[in-house]
Amino acid sequence: MGQQELLDAAIRSSEGGADPYVFLRELVDHGDSFIDADDRAWAFGYDLVSSILRSPVMAKRGIHGAQSFPRFTPTQEEQLKSERPADGGFLPSLDPPDHTRLRRLVGLAYTPKAVDSLAPVMREVLEDLIAGVDPHDEIDLIQAFAEPFPAQVIGHLIGLPLSNRDVFAALARESAPAFDSAAPFEVVLGGLRARRRSLDYMSELLEDRRRSPLGDDLVSALVSLQETGELIRHEAELVSLVTTMYGAGFQTTLHMIANGIVLFLRNPEQADALRANPSLATQAANEVLRVDTPIMNAGYIAAERTQIGDLVLEEGQHVTAMLGTANHDRRVFEDPARFDVTRKRSRQPLSFGSGQHHCLGASLARMEGEVFFATLLTRFPRMRLVGEPMRLDSFRMRGYEMVRVVLEPRADRSS
C-alpha cells in the first residue's frame, strides 16, 4: 500500500478499536511525509515532525489545527461555524503575540516548584479513590481512577471548587471530539456544543469567584488580572483560558494513565521491573507516552513559503504533524512496538509537542503518571484485566472508554 492507503487504514483501524500502529510504522518506513489529494501535508518521521513543531513559520491563525481541514459539505461547515464558540484564550489556536502573552501568564502555575508541590496532593487524591472501591470487585478503571484522579489534581491547581470538578470533567470529555480531524460531522457538532456549555459554566464560576474571591488560587489571580485589562484583555479571553487549562490538564492525563495500566497489565514483566526499581517511574511514564500516544497529531498552517527537511510548503498550506507516528520511527526508537520501561533513549517522545506550543502541563502529566503507576502497581501486584478494554472510537485521541479490572483477585476467582 502507498502512504495514503496506509494512513486511511490506520484511521479505520483505530476507529474500530484496533491498533493503528501496524500501519503507521509501515507508513513512516515509506517516507517522512506526503501531500494528499487536497494539498494537505502530512509529516511522519521523527526529525521532520520535530522540525515542524519548532518552526517559527508554522502558525495556528485562530483555528485549532485538527479543525482546520474542510471535510464536510458547505451546509455542514456553516452549521459548525455557527456552533463554534468564541474561544478568545484558546492557547492551541493562538499565535504570537497573544499566545506568548497568555502562555507566559499561565506558565507560572507549572513551574518545577509548583508541580513538585502537588505530589502530596496527588498521593492524597489517589489514596481517597482507592479507599472508595472494594479491591476484590470488578471496577472500571476509567470511572474509578483515570478520570477523577487528574480532574481532582488540575482542579486543585487552578482552584475549581470540588463540587464542580465532576461537571467539568464530563464537559471536557464531551468536548474532545470537536478537535478530532477524523470524527464524523454529528460527533464534531456535539463536541462544539459541549465546548460552548463548558465555557458558559466557567463564566458562571468566574463570576462567583469575583463575588467571593479565595485570594490564593490561580482562578482568583487571573480574575484580578482581567479586571486590570492589561495581561488579560477581556472576559472571553479569561473564560476560554481557564476552561482550556482545565480540559487540557485533565483529558490527556486521563488517557495516558489508562493506556499505561493496560500496557503494564499486558506486559507484566514491565510492571515487575517498575516495582523492583521505583526509580524507573519517569522512564516508565515516558515509555507509555511513546508507545500509546494520547494525542496523535497536531495541526498547523504555513505562514509563508518554506522548506522543512525535504517537505516544501506553500503559504497557507495545512500541515498535520503526526506525533504518534514519530514516536514509532524505527530510526530513532529500536523495535518501537516493544513496551520497555528500561529502554535507553537519546531523544524523548514528541507526545507533548515541542517548540512554542509544547504542552505547558507536560511535567505535571508525567508526574501524575509516575505517581499513578507506581502506587497502583505496587499496592495491587495481582491486578488483572477483566475482558477486553473498550477503545475510544477516535483516531486523534488514543484512549479507552472502559477498562474493567480487579485490583486484588480473590483466591478462588479466575480473571
**Inter-axis angle of helices 119-131 and 362-379, nearest 10:** 40
- pLDDT of res. 405: 98
- pLDDT of res. 181: 64
CATH topology (fold) of 3-406: Cytochrome p450 (1.10.630)
Three-state secondary structure of 143-155: HHHHCHHHHHHHH
- pLDDT of res. 82: 86
- pLDDT of res. 313: 96
- pLDDT of res. 64: 60
Each residue's pLDDT expressed in tens, for the chain with a length of 415 residues: 889 999 999 988 887 778 999 999 999 999 999 999 889 999 999 999 999 999 999 998 876 644 444 568 888 888 888 888 877 768 888 888 888 888 888 887 888 888 888 999 999 999 999 999 999 999 999 999 999 999 899 888 888 777 777 787 788 878 877 777 667 888 888 888 888 888 888 888 888 878 877 666 777 778 777 766 667 878 888 888 888 888 877 888 999 999 999 999 999 999 999 999 999 999 999 999 999 999 999 999 999 999 999 999 999 999 999 999 999 999 999 999 999 999 988 899 999 999 888 888 899 999 999 999 999 999 999 999 999 999 988 888 899 999 999 999 987 544 4
Distance CA 170, CA 411 (A): 36
Alpha-helix runs per DSSP H in 92-234: 98-107, 112-116, 119-131, 141, 148-158, 162-175, 185-211, 218-228
Q: List Cβ neighbours of 58 (8 Å cut-off, separation of 6 or more).
A: 52, 300, 301, 302, 303, 319, 355
pTM (global) more than 0.85:
yes
Distance CA 294, CA 352 (A): 9
- pLDDT of res. 172: 81
Cell of 365: 502529566
- pLDDT of res. 12: 86
Contact in structure between 217 and 207 (CB atoms under 8 Å): no
Domain layout of the chain by residue ranges: 3-406
> Minimal CA–CA distance to 404: which of 378, 381, 386?
386
Distance CA 189, CA 333 (A): 38
Collapsing DSSP to helix, strand or coil, 245 comes out as helix
Alpha-helix runs per DSSP H in 336-407: 362-379
Cell of 248: 487540557
